[in-house]
């Protein structure tokens, strides 16, 4: 895995991600996607949409507006409960999330445990049994107990909204500000994460609008519209991809935590009482979706929530091993009938489903799957980007930077390269092939620099195949196709090229 700093500069250098409004020194935690970035992001969205909507008879899509009636957010609980605990350091004037400071304290203890384990591993070699060592080593047992106590107390304080206890914990654990090194903290207070703005023709509180902090509510308020217009029967789902906005207190780690981001969410409406069975179903289905992209199983894991959101009766994260450790990539939440019931109450409109099999009406329960598109992008880039030793044109060892993305999501599928730039026969044959392939795949034509350098440029953006047009092409209509990962080159007839790629680079190849 590439070092995180290098990954960020690679993303900029190769047109994946730029800081927003960079000429004005950027805007904190807001980013723009460049030419290769937008292709990769669109491919991720397309894979999600096709596998969730097209592959399920009982899931349909919508595209709801970002602005919604302000009562939506009262009903959903976001006005009252979508808060993070905020604390300022009076010396550095930096803001922190109190819960993250406390989690950081627990992570430091964890790091000590890991250090002891690594030492023991070196000492005992192959005979080392980590599970046994964890279960019997006194120091590790004590440290693990300490971590559990810290996290349980944190979960309790978060659940009950006990800001005083969060402050007490920061003091007891003697947590210092990473910037100033001081323990001069303000009180901890709740901070609502929703951005707001004003509707043009209404003044004051009445006209206060929120930028949606999740796409899910656009689905809930449209439940009856969609169910009636599509005549779907429970169980059925509604899917949506769209922007969401959160005024995150601490937004670091590149596109992992942004203030403007994109979500891909699906709400699955079910009969009350069947939620645990559907919860298990969607947990497995979503994990398989990730694995189909070739992500190693060791980099994905489930993490059950200790601290349930106000709407959930069960929740799990699919975590991915980012360069900064295992973190949430996707959430699967059993949301009960919380949202639909709340909207029913606040709108005064009946939101119920008549179940013809049970011959009764009820407010459906919901299991949702929710994944951040940008986080998925970061997971894919960090999984794929690597430096490796390969032989150069003279057979000498050289280092190449290569992005081993699954071909179906790679921004460019095929690069067409005439061997020489100043041989008209070669460039016109290459242009003709490029024109033929561009209708089917996102292709690039590149004639600048030596062929080795052009291969390296394509490796760096993850192009799975490079086609070279050389003098033999002019004689027998064949081309060489170079495979990004194996570096093998095969000779193919020009008219076989399209079919050769078709199955390998299409999103459909992931769906079967």
Interface residues toward ligand GAP, by CB under 6 A? 214, 216, 246, 248, 257-258, 261, 263, 265, 328-331, 368, 370-372, 374-375
Residue whose CB is less far from ligand GAP, 10 or 333: 333
Nearer Cβ to ligand GAP (76/468): 76
Q: How far apart are alpha carbons 434 and 417 in whole angstroms?
A: 9
Integer Cα distance of 386 and 6 in angstroms: 10
CB of 249 to ligand GAP, least distance (A): 11
What does the CA dihedral 377, 379, 384, 388 come to, rounded to 10 degrees? Answer: 130
Q: Are 296 and 379 in contact (CB under 8 A)?
A: no
Rg (CA), the chain: 27
Single out the residue of 320, 332, 450, 469 nearest to residue 393, CA to CA: 450
How far is the C-alpha of 252 from the C-alpha of 471, rounded, in Å? 51
Nearer to ligand GAP, 85 or 331 (CB): 331
What's the closest the beta carbon of residue 216 comes to ligand GAP, in angstroms? 4
Q: Rounded to the nearest whole angstrom, what is the least distance from the CB of residue 140 to ligand GAP in the complex?
A: 31
Say how far apart CA 79 and CA 199 lie, in whole Å.
17
To ligand GAP, the closest distance from the beta carbon of 371 in angstroms equals 5
Smallest gap from Cβ 214 to ligand GAP, in A, equals: 4
The pair of structure tokens assigned to 508 is 């459909």
Q: How far apart are CA 372 and CA 378, in angstroms?
A: 10
Strand blocks (E) in 108-235: 189-192, 196-198, 208-210
From residue 439, give the alpha-carbon distance in Å to each of 263, 436, 444, 447, 502: 29, 6, 12, 20, 12
Residue closest to ligand GAP (Cβ): 372
Q: Which is nearer to ligand GAP, 109 or 194 (CB)?
A: 194
Which helix (H) or strand (E) covers residue 84, if one does?
Answer: strand 83-88
Q: Name the residue nearer to ligand GAP (CB basis): 379 or 479.
A: 379
- Cβ-based nearer residue to ligand GAP, 246 or 482: 246
Dist CA 253 CA 264 (whole Å) = 21
Quote the least distance from Cβ 243 to ligand GAP, whole Å: 11
Question: Phi and psi at residue 61, in whole multiples of 5°?
Answer: -110, 160
The DSSP element (H or E) to which 150 belongs, if any, is: helix 138-160
Q: How far is the CB of 448 from ligand GAP (least distance, A)?
A: 36
Retrieve residue 436's tokens.
């033929």
Cβ closest to ligand GAP, residue 219 vs residue 461: 219
User: CA geometry: angle at 309 spanning 104 and 190, to 5°?
Assistant: 65
In the structure encoding, which two tokens stand for residue 390, read together? 């390969």
**HEC states along 383-434?**
HHEEEEEEECCCCCEEEEEEECCCCCCCCCCEEEEECCCCCHHHHHHHHHHH
Q: Which helix (H) or strand (E) holds 457?
A: helix 451-461
Q: 371 or 497: whose CB is closer to ligand GAP?
A: 371
CB nearer ligand GAP, residue 378 or residue 402? 378
Question: Which of 368, 446 has the CB closer to ligand GAP?
Answer: 368
Q: How far apart are CA 260 and CA 273, in angstroms?
A: 36
∠508-440-17 over CA atoms, to 5°? 80
DSSP string, 235-278: SEEEEEEEEEE---SS--TGGGS-SEEEEEEEEEEE-TT-HHHH
Can you read off the two tokens belonging to residue 238? 């509604």
Minimum separation from the CB atom of position 349 to ligand GAP (A) = 22
Nearer to ligand GAP, 82 or 501 (CB): 82
Residue (314 or 437) nearer to ligand GAP, CB: 314
Reported as half-sphere exposure (CB side, CA atoms, 13 A), residue 11 has a value of 27
Q: How far is the CB of 29 from ligand GAP (least distance, A)?
A: 8
Of 290 and 375, CB closest to ligand GAP: 375
């Amino acid at each position: 895995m590439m070092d995180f700093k290098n990954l960020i500069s690679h993303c900029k250098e190769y047109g994946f991600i730029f800081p927003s409004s960079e000429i004005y020194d950027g805007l904190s935690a807001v980013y723009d996607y460049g030419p290769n970035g937008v292709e990769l992001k669109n491919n991720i969205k397309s894979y999600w949409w096709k596998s969730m909507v097209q592959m399920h008879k009982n899931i349909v899509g919508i595209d709801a507006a970002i602005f919604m009636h302000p009562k939506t957010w009262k009903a959903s609980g976001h006005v009252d409960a979508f808060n993070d605990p905020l604390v300022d350091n009076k010396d550095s004037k930096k803001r922190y999330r109190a819960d993250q400071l406390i989690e950081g304290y627990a992570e430091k203890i964890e790091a000590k445990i890991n250090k002891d384990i690594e030492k023991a591993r070196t000492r005992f070699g192959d005979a080392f049994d980590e599970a046994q060592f964890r279960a019997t080593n006194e120091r590790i047992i004590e440290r693990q107990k300490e971590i559990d106590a810290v996290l349980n107390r944190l979960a309790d304080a978060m659940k009950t909204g006990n800001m005083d206890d969060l402050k007490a914990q920061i003091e007891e654990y003697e947590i210092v500000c990473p910037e100033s090194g001081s323990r001069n903290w303000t009180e901890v207070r709740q901070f609502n994460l929703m951005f707001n703005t004003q509707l043009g023709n209404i003044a004051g509180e009445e006209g206060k609008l929120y930028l949606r902090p999740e796409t899910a509510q656009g689905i809930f308020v449209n439940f009856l519209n969609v169910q009636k217009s599509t005549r779907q029967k429970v169980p059925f789902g509604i899917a949506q991809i769209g922007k969401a906005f959160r005024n995150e207190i601490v937004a670091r780690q590149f596109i992992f935590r942004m203030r403007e981001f994109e979500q891909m969410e699906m709400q699955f409406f079910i009969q009350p009482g069947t939620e645990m069975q559907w919860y298990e179903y969607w947990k497995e289905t979503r994990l398989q979706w990730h694995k189909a992209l070739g992500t190693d199983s060791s980099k994905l894991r489930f993490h059950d929530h200790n601290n349930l959101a106000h709407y959930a009766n069960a929740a799990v994260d699919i975590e991915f091993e980012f360069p900064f450790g295992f973190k949430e990539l996707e959430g699967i939440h059993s949301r009960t009938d919380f949202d639909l019931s709340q909207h029913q109450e606040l709108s005064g409109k009946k939101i119920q489903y008549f179940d013809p099999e049970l011959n009764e009406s009820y407010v459906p329960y919901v299991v949702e799957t929710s994944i951040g598109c940008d986080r998925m992008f970061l997971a894919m880039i960090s999984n794929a980007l690597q430096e490796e030793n390969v032989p150069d044109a003279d057979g000498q060892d050289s280092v190449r930077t290569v992005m081993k993305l699954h071909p179906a999501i790679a921004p460019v599928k095929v690069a067409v390269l005439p061997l020489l730039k100043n041989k008209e026969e070669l460039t016109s044959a290459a242009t003709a092939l490029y024109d033929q392939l561009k209708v089917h795949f996102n292709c690039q034509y590149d004639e600048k620099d030596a062929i080795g350098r052009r291969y390296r440029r394509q490796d760096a953006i993850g192009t799975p195949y490079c086609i070279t047009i050389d003098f033999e092409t002019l004689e027998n209509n064949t081309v060489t196709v170079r495979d990004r990962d194996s570096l093998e080159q095969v000779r193919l007839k020009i008219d076989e090229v399209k079919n050769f790629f078709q199955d390998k680079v299409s999103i459909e190849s992931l769906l079967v």
